[in-house]
């Protein structure tokens, strides 16, 4: 069983070492692949110098969706059975990965999403504005795919081989997290949420803030609705 951890990173020179270190500390047999989305800082060298992760450098900034998709393409090419998406900014916790892997390894689900909101807890706090947005995604996505997904924007996920193959061709570029939930569900992939803890960002600021928040919401909702009226993509499942 080959497992690939896909770490998209954009200007994360301050976080990336800690992220790779924490992933290796878990002492698992998984491989780590950092996708450097044309960072302006030293992310690539820092990640490379460590020697514990493979690093792919992209020559233009193509956004988180394109970066993660590069990881799926790599995973498919090198025949990985499972891949885990793990943010390069340090908000995901490496010791939580086994929780994501369990349903995949037990063939219970094609996709597993790590959710901050499945259980009420104190770990992850966010602004009320943000929580409102998350609630809207919850309601809309849940209606569209007829299954409750509590954390649509979570980028902490695990995928099995079929999902990797599918996403290497069809991963959305713009707002990949909520969009991919719709695309995957629509194309017959099973999605399961498990509760995972997440940290607040350690360095730097999240890419989403202020008035951008509103624009982000509108764009994501539009993308979600568009995806829901798209036709099912013809795919060959290998099993």
Residue numbers of the site for other proteins (CB under 8 A)? Answer: 35, 54-60, 62, 66, 69-70, 73-74, 77, 173
Q: How far is CA 137 from the centre of its chain?
A: 16
Considering beta carbons, is residue 74 or 156 the nearer one to other proteins?
74
Considering beta carbons, is residue 56 or 105 the nearer one to other proteins?
56
Q: Nearest distance from residue 201's CB to other proteins, in Å?
A: 25
Phi then psi for residue 128, to 5 deg, are -65, -35
Considering beta carbons, is residue 103 or 172 the nearer one to other proteins?
172
Q: Which of 107, 112, 134 is nearest to 1 (CA)?
A: 107
10 Å Cβ neighbour count for 99?
Answer: 17
Considering beta carbons, is residue 55 or 158 the nearer one to other proteins?
55
Q: Which of 167, 151, 171 is nearest to 159 (CA)?
A: 167
Q: Nearest distance from residue 91's CB to other proteins, in Å?
A: 24
Q: Nearest distance from residue 35's CB to other proteins, in Å?
A: 7
Q: Nearest distance from residue 58's CB to other proteins, in Å?
A: 5
**Cα torsion through 101, 107, 112, 118, rounded to 10:** -100
């Amino acid at each position: 069983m080959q497992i690939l951890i896909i770490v998209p990173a954009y200007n994360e020179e301050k976080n990336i070492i800690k992220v790779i270190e924490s992933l290796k500390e878990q002492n698992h047999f998984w491989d780590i692949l950092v996708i450097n989305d044309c960072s302006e800082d030293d992310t690539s060298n820092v990640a490379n110098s460590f020697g514990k992760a493979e690093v792919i450098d992209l020559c233009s900034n193509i956004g988180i969706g394109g970066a993660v998709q590069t990881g799926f393409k790599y995973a498919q090419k090198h025949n990985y059975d499972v891949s885990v998406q793990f943010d390069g900014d340090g908000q995901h916790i490496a010791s939580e990965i086994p929780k994501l892997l369990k349903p995949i390894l037990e063939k219970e689900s094609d996709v597993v999403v790590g959710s901050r909101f499945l259980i009420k807890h104190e770990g992850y706090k966010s602004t009320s504005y943000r929580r409102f947005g998350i609630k809207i995604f919850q309601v809309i996505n849940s209606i569209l795919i007829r299954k409750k997904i509590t954390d649509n924007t979570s980028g902490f996920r695990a995928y099995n081989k079929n999902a990797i193959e599918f996403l290497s061709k069809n991963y959305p570029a713009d707002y990949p997290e909520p969009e991919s939930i719709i695309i995957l569900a629509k194309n017959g992939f099973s999605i399961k949420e498990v509760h995972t803890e997440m940290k607040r960002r350690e360095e730097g600021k999240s890419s989403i803030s202020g008035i951008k928040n509103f624009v982000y919401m509108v764009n994501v909702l539009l993308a979600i609705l568009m995806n829901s009226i798209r036709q099912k993509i013809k795919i060959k499942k290998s099993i």
